[in-house]
Homo-oligomer: A and B are copies of this chain.
Amino acid sequence: MTKKHTIILQPSGSRGQVDEGMSVRSAARELGVEIESICAENATCGKCMVLIEEGRFEKYNIDSRRENVSPVSTEEAAYFARRPKLLKDKGWEVGQVRLSCQCKIRGDVLINVPEESRGNKQIVRKSATERAIEVKPAIRKYLVTMTPPNLERPIADWERLAKGLETSMALVRGTEEKLPRWYELGIDYQCLRTLSKTLREAKWNVTVSVWQDKEVIEVQAGYVEDSYGAAVDIGSTTVALYLCNLRTGEMLAAESEMNPQIVYGEDVMSRIQYAIENPDGLEKLHKAIISTLNKLLKQAAHEAKIKMSEILEMVLVGNSTMHHVLLNLHPKDLGLAPFVPTIHRSMDIKARELGLHINPSGNIHVLPTIASFVGADTSAMIVAEEPHKQDENWLLIDVGTNAELILGNRKRLVCTSTPTGPALEGAHVEYGMRAAPGAMERIVIDENTLEPKYKVIGVTGWNTDHAEFKGQVKGICGSAIIDGVAELFRAGIVDSRGKFKQGLDSKRIRKGESGWEYVIAWAEETSIGRDIPMTQQDVRQIQLAKAALFTAARTLLNRSGLESPDKIILAGGFGSYIDKEKAMLIGLIPDCELDKVYAVGNAAGDGARIALLNVEKRNEIDGVTRKVERFELPTDPEFQNQFMLATSFPHMSEPFPHIAHLIPNRKADPMAKNFMSK
């Protein structure tokens, strides 16, 4: 019988008995600890370094000694000799540090696995919820060394490589895993075309990139450690691209650019219209986004100092229209009732088919869309926030010209979407503007004096902090519009139906050209030389938008039999800037404990990046999106009724306990009564 020895692995503390003669890396795997490797245990990659700790470890009752593993081999010594700087920086000496694929167990040892050698690395994502991403890319690299062909064994290049690759995969990944046999492995046709040349130039020593354990998509000469991928969020306005190292998960570049389709239409509907009305409309929209993606890829590759051909995969997300145009699918039926997309499910397409200038054999993965107007960006948001893994019921809202909502938990997810109009983004509001220097971003109105104060992007503090505040305001951005309407209501200037009250004592309340209005900034405070008011019309726009959003949320809650969500997650730029208390006050979002309302920024971009770095998330979201229940609001018989009621602002009553203290202390407006009833 083979002799057994006790092995302890730190920092995990895994321990167990393993056979004498087993390599430390194999022993670790037996104890459930993955140690990195890419060179098929050839002592060339150095990914599997471990430290042999010496001493008496009472806790485990072992004497750990360097002599309890096989001596440093010639190959190992050669590897470390090439890396004096590493040893110096870490303060390690050879013998203490070992390549775990080379050193064999001969006695009891305590082994320290340094962070960089641990398999399945995690990287930390910066977001409200600080979540770790496990790096499990679709592409893995393997070093394959072959015996050159000769007259006795002139087997074909691919079969030679595939057989070597089978061995390398088994050595790197372990024999327990179900890995494909060499004849089940595929090779991309374009990659095959250069195979013979590469193998010979590389003298039969190559690094092979394998996609999803099934298809070889790149063969590079010698030992190559890293490959790269790009995650992209195609917004109607902005396209953001993140270039990542697929091995470490590290983000190497983030580039963004205006969506060039904007010249064909501001919003998705006008772009669909353009594609319908012009025979080459789709072609133009499609080419515009492809060329912008190529530009961003080029910039990112330059920034990261890599070649574009080293980018082996992309994951793309976007709303349904952006998704269709990216794939050169005509968006016509998305724009006409009954608003039907061509496809929901995720797709894998070769980069060369789409004309994207990464490696031509690389894969383009597009996340699934969920419903007509719940696109791949929402799928990415689910990937990032994972409502499908929660016990609590979460409500995810991505607000834009259109709002997408997901509600539920691990048992059930429901979704819907609703057009909110552009008011929440500052458009169609008389002095609305984008969040840019000169835009008001916060507004407060004193309920006694009815005097306002405001903050301006690019200016520190409130306007009232500056003795003479002059010529700096240009308009009102989305967050200040919510603030403004909420404050008009809270201060009792508009009633719960959104109507300006008359007879209030303030020179700021006046009858303007288009009806009643409240002046927030006098002409001298502005750079435009005109008073900046919020008008009755502005209030009505916000009422319509918030009614749509609120009714959508209410519908999902009712369908799920819930009073309120346990948590609200606001995604997108808009969610990051609004004052959640004010948003709740005007009934933009359902009632919820305020500290359970989170803004998570670009969750779609985060989700795309997660799906790029962890291939398992792709199958997961495919499964989740197949099961999400879709509610189409216009067909809900209650919708119009609910919507009309929801245009009013909340009053002092049960459904909004968390902002009750802010609601004007007077009799409930009869029109508003029970508007949020189920």
Contact = CB atoms under 8 A, between A and B. Distances in A.
A150 interface: yes
A149 B339 CA distance: 9
A156 B193 contact: no
A353 interface: yes
A240 interface: no
A196 B329 contact: yes
Nearest to A349: B189
Contact of A156 (B158, B327, B328, B344): B344
Contact of A158 (B150, B152, B155, B343): B343
Contacts of A347: 189
Interface in A338-358: 338-345, 347, 349, 353
Contact of A329 (B192, B329, B340, B634): B192
Given A329-B192, A333-B196, A632 B151 contact: yes
Contacts of A193: 327-330
Contacts of A359: none
B158 A344 contact: yes
B632 A156 contact: no
A195 B151 contact: no
* Most chain B CB neighbours (cut-off 10 Å) among A157, A330, A340, A632: A340
B635 A338 contact: no
A192 to B, nearest CB: 6
Contacts of A634: 151
Contacts of A371: 154
Interface string A183-203: 100010100110111001000
Nearest to A354: B189
A151 B343 contact: no
Contacts of A151: 337-339, 632, 634-635
Contacts of A154: 338-340, 371-372, 632
Contacts of A156: 340-344, 369
Interface of A: 149-152, 154-159, 183, 187, 189, 192-193, 195-197, 200, 327-330, 332-333, 337-345, 347, 349, 353, 369, 371-372, 622, 626, 632, 634-635
The 3 nearest A-B residue pairs measured at CB: A158-B343, A156-B341, A156-B344
7 contacts: A151-B339, A151-B632, A157-B342, A158-B344, A193-B329, A195-B343, A196-B340
